[in-house]
């Protein structure tokens, strides 16, 4: 069992890394939301509107879950109580990225190809 000081230092280190991840994700999501990926898909494949909206909603959901984990780590709540939440968040994030890739492929499949 780690000493209280070691556990506290570990939680602070995790909290810092989670805040760094949040900043990276917020920037990544902002680029997708600000006229690039999502708007381009909606323009070229309007039938994918519902999928685009679902992905945009997931951005806020993922950041909210990450905020909860940052708070738990910052408050030095025991890691076993929040480590499962971190594992779940990372799985959801990976699945979100897969859905974005799938959306791009579907949008590309519906756009007219180059002339022969």
Residue-wise pLDDT for 32-56, tens only, equals: 888 677 888 888 888 888 998 999 9
**Please, which residues have CB within 8 angstroms of residue 7's CB and are 6 or more apart in sequence?**
76, 79
Cα of 74 vs its chain's centroid, Å: 20
**C-alpha span between 96 and 37 (Å, rounded):** 14
pTM for the model: 0.80
Give the tokens for residue 7: 């556990």
SS3 call for 2 = coil
pLDDT at 57 over 90: yes
List the structure tokens of 25: 């994700």
pLDDT value of residue 75: 78
Q: How far is CA 63 from CA 25, 44, 78, 91, in A?
A: 8, 28, 21, 14
Exposure on the CB side of residue 1, measured as CA atoms within 13 A: 2
Domain boundaries along the sequence of the chain: 4-108
Structure tokens at 70: 């940052």
pLDDT, one tens digit per residue, over 63-97 is 999 999 888 887 777 666 778 888 999 999 999 99
Whether the Cβ atoms of residue 110 and residue 47 lie closer than 8 Å to each other: yes
């Amino acid at each position: 069992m780690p000493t209280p000081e070691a556990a506290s230092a570990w939680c602070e280190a995790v909290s810092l890394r989670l805040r760094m991840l949040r900043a990276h994700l917020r920037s990544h999501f902002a680029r997708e939301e600000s006229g690039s990926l999502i708007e381009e898909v909606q323009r070229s494949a309007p039938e994918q509107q519902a999928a685009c909206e679902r992905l945009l909603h997931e951005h806020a959901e993922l950041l909210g879950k990450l905020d909860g984990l940052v708070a738990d780590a910052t408050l030095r709540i025991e890691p076993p109580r929040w480590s499962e939440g971190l594992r779940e968040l990372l799985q959801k994030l990976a699945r979100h990225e897969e859905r974005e890739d799938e959306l791009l492929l579907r949008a590309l499949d519906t756009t007219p190809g180059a002339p022969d």
